[in-house]
Amino acid sequence: MPDYRRNRVPGGTYFFTVNLLERRRRLLVEHVDALRTAVRIVRDRQPFHIDAWVVLPDHLHCLWTLPPGDADYSGRWKAIKTAFAKVVPRKESLSEVRRANHERGIWQRRFWEHTIRDERDYAAHMDYICFNPVKHGWVERVTDWPYSSFHRLVRTGVYPVDWAGGAGSDGTFGERLGD
Please indicate whether residue 147 is annotated as part of the active site. Answer: yes
- Amino acid 178: pLDDT: 32
Count of the separate structural domains present in the chain: 1
For residue 85, what are the domain limits? 13-165
- Per-residue model confidence (pLDDT) at position 98: 64
- Which position among 14, 73, 147, 159 bears the catalytic label? 147
pLDDT of 4 reads: 65
pTM assigned to the model = 0.86
User: Which phi and psi angles does 150 have, rounded to 5°?
Assistant: -50, -40
Position 172 in a domain: no
86 located within any domain: yes
CATH number assigned to the domain comprising residue 75: 3.30.70.1290
Is there a contact between 14 and 114 (Cβ–Cβ < 8 Å)?
yes
Burial 130-169 (b: 16+ CB within 10 A, else e): bbbbbeeeeeeebbebebbbbbebbeeebbeeebebeeee
> How high is the mean pLDDT in each 10-residue block of the chain (179 residues)?
74 96 88 96 97 97 97 96 88 70 77 96 97 96 96 96 66 39
pLDDT at 172: 46
Tell me, rounded to whole angstroms, the distance of Cα 117 from its chain centroid: 18
